[in-house]
Amino acid sequence: MRIIMRTLIISGGKISDYEYIKERILQFGAEMIICADSGYNHAVRMNLPADLIAGDFDSIGEVPDNVKTACYPSEKNQTDTEIALNHAREAGAQDILIIGATGTRADHMLTNIFMLKNCLARGEKAEIIDENNKIRITDSQLEISGAKGGLISIVPLSDCAGVTTRGLKYPLENARLKLGEGRGVSNVMTGAEASVSVEKGMLLVIEARD
């Protein structure tokens, strides 16, 4: 059986700029597209073919006949996005892009972001993007490709030690960052490449655009 490596997950959160998001999707080069419930509506608006729609189907509207579905009860212990992620894993996904995972529901947004921690623990490459952010998690080293002047925020998810940055205006060298402190917010890229590393703890790394 062929292993699907690059998988796009489309969740049902807010997407305002479909042109920008679709451009990023095309750059990603997904081999499989899984929609979490009403994430399928986003796929339709971007004219993207869904390989699977998974969830409890409480917000999608009419379910198409020509797309494979995995229907779950509305009373369940997982979110639709988590269910879609599990289906991606069953297909062998190792590189995962998640869109539609942010928006007005802080509970869903935070849960989706923290799912990246689970991906990291499993050795999966995963990120969340929206019109303004690219969100990743690292417990070792993370390479950043962008542009001079790009905003980079480093948010500790625990008390972190040995935090070092390269290619950022406000450098950190073997620093300690404590959970709840804003020291790592709004750093600036000095060129097209940068990196962040941590020896102990876990960092949320956000590439932001206003």
Q: pLDDT tens, 152-199?
A: 999 999 999 999 999 999 999 999 999 999 999 999 999 999 999 999
Average pLDDT over residues 105-118: 95
Q: How far is CA 165 from its chain centroid?
A: 22
Dihedral, CA of residue 166, residue 172, residue 176 and residue 181, to nearest 10: -100
Average pLDDT over residues 122-151: 97
Mean of pLDDT over the chain: 94
Average pLDDT over residues 40-47: 95
Helix (H, G, I), strand (E, B) or coil at 199: coil
> Which band of pLDDT confidence, cut at 50, 70 and 90, is reported for residue 107?
very high
The pLDDT of residue 125 is above 60 = yes
Helix (H, G, I), strand (E, B) or coil at 117: helix
Cα separation of 98 and 35, whole Å? 10
pLDDT score of 66: 85
pLDDT score of 4: 67
Helix (H, G, I), strand (E, B) or coil at 83: helix
The pLDDT of residue 1 is above 60 = no
pLDDT score of 65: 82
More confident residue, 2 or 124: 124
Average pLDDT over residues 91-110: 95
Q: In percent, how much of the chain has pLDDT > 70?
A: 98
Residues 6+ apart with CB under 8 A from 147: 189, 192
Instruction: Identify the weakest region by mean pLDDT among 29-38, 59-68, 71-80.
Output: 59-68
Cα separation of 175 and 203, whole Å? 13
pTM for the whole structure = 0.93
